[in-house]
Amino acid sequence: MLRKVKQIHSNLQGKYWKYWLPVLIIITGFLVCVYVAYKFFLSPARTLSKSLSRLGMMRTFSYLGQLKFKANTSNNSQQDDSLLEGLLSQEYTLGFTGSADFTNKNNKMLNGHLDIAVKQLPVLQADYAVVGKTIYLKIEQMADLGIIGLENFKDKWIQIDPQELNNIYGISVKSPNILSLSYEDELTLQKFIEINPPIVFVGRLHNEKIAGVESYQYKFKIDKTNLVRAYAEALSLSEFDDETKAARLESIKGNINKLDFGIGALWIGKKDFFIRKFQINVKTVANNKGDPIYEANLTLILNDINYPIKIFVPQDSTRLRDMLSGYINSQTPSEK
């Protein structure tokens, strides 16, 4: 009897194993594919790495964003300047929208519109364009600041040459850009950031469509150490002398240590791995000196990446230098 039972069991194993074997192979293969897909395609680190590697591939795009800024002066121990305190304590909102064409790295172009408001009350509305190093500005609406003759700057395109203003008036419109590197150096910096990412993912949310593009959504925090490392690497690739590099690095270390980065959110396109949306909140750390606590919240949306975009360049404009000279002359009493 025992021999017969064993024979039946053996027959059953042989009979059904030929069906179970393909099933097990399929299940195993599926699990391996899921792991590989997550590890190499869907994992946050891999997605971020791909996204960073594609930043340099963005030639044209449109953008939409908002920056909110506020200072909490209740911690301020110096209450002498009530006007300044009042100005700082207001909530400022900067909304901007436009298009960019970075096809020619030596002549990057962008244009758009910006709105500045204080407590939702409009302060400034203007169109702008940037062609290479030249800035164009057209003020459409501006709050009454009580400055005589300021209305002459409205409703006309003003051409601003930063270098000219700096040479003549000592006005610095553009800060030195330490990331103005050669293409080869940009690739070196990009690879460094991929290995030492300043972003650490802390969670994944449900996918969302950003401007019609299906996108992964991640929560992240800023790695201050790697942020400083990235800045140091950029400095090492720059043409500044060693003394300037050391001073700038020490300055950025101090400034970053004063910041408290909140949990941010990042949306990355599922198919093209371009960054589609970015949100972050930053505020200064409270100290025992009574300094105001500054807080800023940024939201940026990118769309129409690498689609044909036409940048508007003003053909009829007036140099700011000439307008300033005319304004100064108009406000200077003439001698009789």
What pLDDT shows up at residue 75? Answer: 56
- E strand residue ranges, 50-91: 60-72
C-alpha to C-alpha distance for 184 and 52, rounded to whole angstroms = 16
What pLDDT shows up at residue 330? Answer: 59
Domain spans of the chain? 2-42, 46-105+113-121+171-313
What pLDDT shows up at residue 195? Answer: 84
What pLDDT shows up at residue 275? Answer: 92
CATH of region 46-105+113-121+171-313: 2.50.20
Mean pLDDT by 10 residues, the chain (336 residues): 50 48 47 44 70 83 92 59 57 92 87 89 90 90 68 84 65 48 78 84 88 92 90 85 86 87 91 92 78 85 93 88 68 54
What pLDDT shows up at residue 28? Answer: 46
What pLDDT shows up at residue 162? Answer: 75
- The DSSP call for residue 77 is S
What pLDDT shows up at residue 155? Answer: 87
Spatial CB neighbours of 316, under 8 Å, sequence gap ≥ 6:
157
Q: Where are the alpha helices (DSSP H) in the chain?
A: 2-37, 44-53, 82-88, 162-169, 183-195, 224-237, 242-257, 320-331
What pLDDT shows up at residue 153? Answer: 78
Spatial CB neighbours of 224, under 8 Å, sequence gap ≥ 6:
256, 257, 261
What pLDDT shows up at residue 333? Answer: 57
Structure tokens at 4: 């017969």
